[in-house]
């Protein structure tokens, strides 16, 4: 484009628009990462898909590990300046299209009265287990936003650091996944207790889920009011339910949360491994479904109601392989959706500590086409 005068620029733009080649126009007028992300959330993107990675903040980054020498995980989550710094680290290093708030889904449990921490040997340890009516009644679902004001303080700091350049994602755990951690008392080999409550004491199960729904709705509303561009609801334990029970035990509560939000930006639902009924998952009000690497994207696209986007779904294992393999496989994921306007590139689950930085670089370069 160098050397063109204004008339020639206008001619070029109008001919590309007539050809329907919005991508070329976007490259020319330099669409920001944030705008690209916002458009894809609405299934209105053209050109390359936006890219960010689940668990991009923390774990794999040397700059995160250096901070962790000085501060515990919980301290970083609870200190707005530190949470801001960790949220921005992957943006500075990889220039992702969106940042995700550095926090954890278990802050909700803490705000309701059940603290979380880490076991020496790895994994989450809750202060006690929620395993009966007495503990459920003791959980305080009212006023969680006040007790999570450190998130309310971090988000505007992050927003202002990102400006209009990069999107910002807020998040929470789905009530079902939260209930599983809260009832097991942390990480567990098998998640059985929430399931047992669902089948054997449906009224008590509803009492717990009702409380979690109130707490998560209030928490997400606070994030909306602080200016996030999207919300993601993580239901990573959704796949331990039978397909026929998923909507009653989990999807229903996700739907109530989404319906209860005011002025909500698009909501991304990640129900990992819940891959058997796409239209009922979308009926929760999800604007985008985030899917794991076992899902065939073209078939998903066919099955989804119009206007619902797709996030995913490179196998995170590949980030342990080589930059060349990552480039090849990431390209395949993009090709499989053939320029779908609602594709947000992501992994099928999160970045793990074993992932290689050069593989993440290769992924971003491939998606950005540079
Ligand atoms: O995606 C991001 O980068 C944003 C921050 C984020 C974290 N956890 C930070 C974190 C998000 C969105 C989560 C979500 C989360 N937390 C989920 C749902 C999604 C998923 O990834 O499965 C769940 C189930 C949790 C609860 C939790 N937190 C677990 C099971 C663990 C692992 C325990 C362990 O020993 O590895 C965590 C820890 C955690 N959350 C870390 C980070 C950066 C690692 C802490 C560290 O090692 O420094």
* pLDDT, position 309: 98
What is the 8-class DSSP label of residue 123? Answer: S
Domain boundaries, the chain: 1-30, 33-368
Burial degree of 327 (CB within 10 A; 0-12, 13-18, 19+): middle
Tell me what the mean pLDDT of segment 129-133 comes to: 95
Please report, for the chain, how many H helices and E strands are present, in that order.
19, 9
Q: Can you tell me whether residue 132 is helix, strand or coil? A: coil
Which residue owns the Cα nearest ligand 1 atom 24?
236
For residue 139, is pLDDT > 80? yes
Distance, CA 54 to ligand 1 centroid (Å)? 10
72, with CB counted inside 10 A (0-12, 13-18, 19+), is exposed
Q: What is the pLDDT of residues 25-83, one digit of tens each?
A: 555 568 999 999 999 999 999 999 999 999 999 889 999 999 999 999 999 999 999 99
Residue 268's closest CA among 52, 35, 31? Answer: 52
Write down the pLDDT at residue 58: 81
Q: What is the pLDDT of residues 241-256, one digit of tens each?
A: 999 999 999 999 999 9
Residue nearest to atom 5 of ligand 1 (CA): 102
Q: How far apart are CA 106 and CA 197, in angstroms?
A: 20
- For the cut 90, the answer to whether the pLDDT of residue 166 exceeds it is yes
For residue 251, the 8-state DSSP code is I
- Please, which pLDDT band fits residue 6 given cuts at 50, 70 and 90? low
CA-171 nearest atom, ligand 1? 12
Ligand 1 pocket, Cβ-based, cut-off 6 angstroms: 54-59, 68, 73, 100, 102-106, 118, 122-124, 171, 173, 187, 234, 236, 350
Q: Which of 14, 52, 16 is nearest to 33 (CA)?
A: 52
For 283-328, the pLDDT digits (tens) are: 999 999 999 999 999 999 999 999 999 999 999 999 999 999 999 9
- For 33-368, CATH gives 3.20.20.210
**What integer pLDDT is reported at residue 15 of this predicted model?**
65
- Joined together, the tokens standing for residue 101 give 């708030």
**Cα(348)–Cα(336) distance, integer angstroms:** 15
Half-sphere CA count of 24, side-chain side, radius 13 A: 12
Please classify residue 201 by burial: count the beta carbons closer than 10 Å to its beta carbon, then call 0-12 exposed, 13-18 middle and 19+ buried: middle
What number of other Cβ atoms are within 10 A of residue 33's Cβ? 22
Q: Where are the beta strands (DSSP E) in 154-211?
A: 167-173
Strands 116-118 and 124-126, sheet pairing: antiparallel
């Amino acid at each position: 484009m160098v050397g063109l005068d204004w008339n020639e620029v206008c001619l070029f733009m109008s001919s590309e628009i007539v050809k329907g080649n919005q991508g070329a126009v976007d490259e020319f007028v330099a669409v920001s990462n944030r705008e690209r992300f916002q458009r894809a959330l609405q299934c209105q993107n053209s050109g390359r898909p936006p890219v960010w990675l689940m668990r991009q903040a923390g774990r794999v980054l040397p700059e995160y590990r250096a901070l962790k020498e000085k501060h515990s995980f919980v301290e970083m989550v609870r200190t707005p300046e530190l949470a801001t710094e960790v949220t921005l680290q992957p943006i500075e290093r990889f220039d992702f299209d969106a940042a995700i708030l550095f926090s954890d889904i278990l802050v909700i449990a803490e705000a309701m009265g059940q603290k979380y921490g880490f076991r020496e040997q790895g994994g989450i340890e809750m202060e006690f287990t929620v395993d009966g009516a007495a503990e459920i009644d003791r959980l305080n679902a009212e006023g969680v936003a006040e007790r999570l004001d450190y998130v309310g303080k971090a988000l505007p700091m992050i927003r202002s650091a990102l400006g209009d350049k990069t999107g910002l994602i807020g998040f929470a755990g789905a009530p079902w996944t939260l209930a599983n951690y809260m009832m097991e008392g942390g990480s567990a080999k098998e998640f059985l207790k929430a399931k047992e409550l669902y089948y054997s004491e449906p009224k008590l199960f509803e009492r717990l889920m009702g409380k979690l729904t109130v707490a998560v709705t209030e928490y997400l509303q606070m994030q909306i009011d602080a200016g996030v561009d999207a919300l993601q609801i993580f239901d990573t334990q959704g796949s331990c339910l039978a397909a026929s029970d998923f909507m009653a035990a989990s999807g229903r509560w996700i739907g109530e949360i989404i319906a209860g939000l005011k002025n909500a930006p698009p909501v991304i639902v990640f129900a990992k491994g819940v891959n058997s009924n796409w239209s009922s998952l979308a009926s929760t009000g999800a604007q985008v479904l985030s899917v794991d690497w076992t899902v065939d994207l073209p078939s998903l696209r066919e099955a989804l109601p119009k206007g619902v986007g797709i996030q995913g779904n490179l196998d995170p294992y590949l980030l342990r392989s080589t930059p060349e393999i990552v480039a090849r496989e990431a390209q395949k994921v993009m090709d499989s959706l053939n320029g779908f306007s609602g594709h947000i590139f992501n992994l099928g689950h999160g970045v793990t500590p074993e992932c290689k930085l050069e593989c993440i670089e290769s992924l971003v370069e491939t998606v950005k086409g540079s």
